[in-house]
Structure 1
Amino acid sequence: MPSSPVSIATFDCLPEEWRNAVVAIGNFDGMHRGHQAVLAAAQAEAEHLGAPCILLTFEPHPRSFFAPDKPLFRLTEPVMRASVASALGLNGVVVAHFDAAFAETSAEDFVRRFLIEKLQLRHAVTGYDFHFGHRRQGTPEFLQRQGILSSFGVTVVDKHGDEEGAVSSSRIRAALEEGRVEEARQLLGWTWSVAAKVVHGDRRGRDLGFPTANMVLPTSCDLRQGIYAVRYTRRDGRVHDGVASFGRRPTFDDGAPKLETFLFDFEGDLYGEMGLVSLVDWIRAEERFDSIEALVAQMNEDAATARRILANHPLADFDRRIAADWPRIEGEAEALGLA
């Protein structure tokens, strides 16, 4: 199998060594334990065949394309999907651009044009509920019939669940919307993280003794507003502990939601950099304070709480691999216009 590190690509720049692969197909928003069951089946088949194992996903999410007036809280943008895939040991991620022309592609043409002609796949792996093609006419059963006709194998993976039911992206969204970070981590199998560019703020945090890396997240992000213990990964790969506030700053302007991260024991300029913020635990809800002194006292307490939480939650090996791969993949995706 190829020994080169996993990358992210589109059909316009498909690496030659990714052809004749085992291809896991799906939206994979979340790369959660249910998705990982699909990817594990793909990796097992790839090892059996001595073939590369790649993931085929779509951007934007089809739900966002078909219902733009109903914003979808995305769990993983393409870079995070590829970073998790890399940590899992896959060889690559292909991002298909989901536009009007793609939406009109019939199920038969999807198989012929993308799976057979472009990828020249040897085996397809998908979940039990994956549909594709115009009007979702492509079902897992349809894909299996196409595999018989075109001489490629197909594996359909059944649902993966726990005592509460199937592991799903909607369950994880609901957990994050309520600040249940540990529950989200258990369903994901990794610490939920979000990447964004550090932008200039009003420098109020610096004046208060808490300079922060400020990020504007997508308006569709329904993460519960409040204070979190976090880890922050820079583009140079260094990981820093910190405390973050996601919210509207009710003591001051009650403005648009913003993610503001204070890095412990750090001095430097982060403006203009992409950063990755991993939410380790929830601390408290956002609140309004009657004085700056009361706010600063609470910020000091939050920082101390975050330090204790992080000391008791060492960086897990899987999270370490994700953080190690993210900077390189972020750079590749930026060059492709995917970040």
Structure 2
Amino acid sequence: MLVTDWRAAPAAARGATLALGNFDGVHLGHRAVLRAAHAARPELKLAALTFEPHPREHFRPEDPPFRLTPAASKAAALQAAGVEIVFALPFDAAFAAMPAEDFVQEVLHGALGARHLACGADFAFGHRRGGDVAFLAGRAEALGIGLTIVPPVVDEAGPISSSRIRRVLQDGYPERAAQKLGRPWEIRGPVSHGDKRGRTIGFPTANVPLGRHLEPARGVYAIRATLAGGQQVPGVANIGPRPTVGGTESRVEAHLFDFSGDLYGQEISIALLHFLRPERKFSGLPELVAQIARDAAEAKKILHI
């Protein structure tokens, strides 16, 4: 169940155990918060409360896209992690101005009827982030709501965070991102019409716009595509503006191995499994075609095809 209007939450969405956070990426740290919410009150429905757009997108709209999981991908990842109800609350000027006291009293207690809360130790909320976990603990106790504060999940480099995952993707290490996410990172979007050059050179591609996704390191990747019907197909993909053919806007161009079919308009997911090489400009199409063939062969070797 997806709820986007807290003032009109259906009765079936009230009274849950509620995990709080932005949940961009739904990484291992986020999943620890979800597990804690469920473990505290396993007899209740598990819900997650998050914000759309991400508050950073509201306050800094000029920033380049940075999302690991845009709205639909985040909701899907939360549901895959066992969440029954996703509260994706619109984050606008009015919501940003809501005092922390009102958020707890009117939203969490009044509108949603939360029975238990779970969040990370750094969770902050309300106008100018005026509410922290100490404030939340005091207000929750007064209202008879349980609260679990979840310590960060750490690896050898420290606490796992969305910002760390963004950095390793931008540095060209999708495997490291996958370790922190608990799954490969995916770019999800509709297959759009490109210049159709790929089919003329023997490598037809599915073109997927980056949209609000973070742009990872530009270059060529071994990938796995998940099609609309659930079919998974390995392949190789280039991410970037395609300088050899005069491109200017970054996008994903994925060549799927041993696949033929019309994907236009379908929403697919491209999971980045391994970075093969940086994007570069070739002298012309013959040199590009030869390199694509080498990339495809290397990807097949890595993917054990």
Question: If the TM-score is normalised by the length of the shorter chain, which range does it land in?
Answer: over 0.9
Q: In the alignment, does 2:262 pair up with 1:265?
A: no
The TM-score with structure 1 as length reference comes to: 0.86
Q: In the alignment, does 2:123 pair up with 1:108?
A: no
Q: Which amino acid aligns with 1:84?
A: A
Aligned-partner Cα distance in 1 for 2:300–2:41: 42
Percent of paired sites with the same residue: 44
1:125 corresponds in structure 2 to 118
Deviation at 1:220, TM superposition (A): 6.5
Deviation at 1:222, TM superposition (A): 2.8
Q: Go from structure 1 to structure 2 and tell me whether the alpha carbon gap of 1:281 and 1:256 turns closer, same or farther (over 3 Å shift).
A: same
Unaligned runs of 5+ in 1: 1-6, 313-339
Q: How big is each residue's C-alpha offset from its partner over 1:224-260, in whole Å with a ceiling of 9 and x where there is no partner?
A: 1100111111222222111111011121104211111
Q: Is the 8 A contact 2:224 2:273 kept in 1?
A: yes
Q: In the alignment, does 2:294 pair up with 1:293?
A: no
2:145 corresponds in structure 1 to 152
Q: Which amino acid aligns with 1:202?
A: D
Deviation at 1:78, TM superposition (A): 2.1
Deviation at 1:108, TM superposition (A): 1.1
2:301 pairs with one of 303, 308, 331: 308
Deviation at 1:14, TM superposition (A): 3.6
Aligned-partner Cα distance in 2 for 1:148–1:292: 67
Q: Is the 8 A contact 1:43 1:90 kept in 2?
A: no
The TM-score with structure 2 as length reference comes to: 0.95
Matches within 5 A, 1:23-34: 23-34=18-29
Matches within 5 A, 1:270-285: 270-285=263-278
Deviation at 1:276, TM superposition (A): 0.9
Between the two proteins, the alignment pairs up a number of residues equal to 304
Moved more, 250-259 or 53-62: 250-259
Aligned-partner Cα distance in 2 for 1:72–1:226: 18
Q: Is the 8 A contact 1:124 1:153 kept in 2?
A: yes
Deviation at 1:79, TM superposition (A): 1.9
Deviation at 1:9, TM superposition (A): 2.6
Aligned-partner Cα distance in 2 for 1:157–1:11: 27
Q: Go from structure 1 to structure 2 and tell me whether the alpha carbon gap of 1:212 and 1:165 turns closer, same or farther (over 3 Å shift).
A: same
Aligned-partner Cα distance in 2 for 1:84–1:43: 16
1:20 corresponds in structure 2 to 15
2:2 corresponds in structure 1 to 8
Aligned-partner Cα distance in 1 for 2:105–2:202: 59
Q: Which amino acid aligns with 1:276?
A: S
* SS of residue matched to 1:206: helix
Unaligned runs of 5+ in 2: none
1:181 pairs with one of 168, 174, 177: 174
Runs of 4+ in structure 1 over 4 Å off:
none
Matches within 5 A, 1:75-114: 75-114=68-107
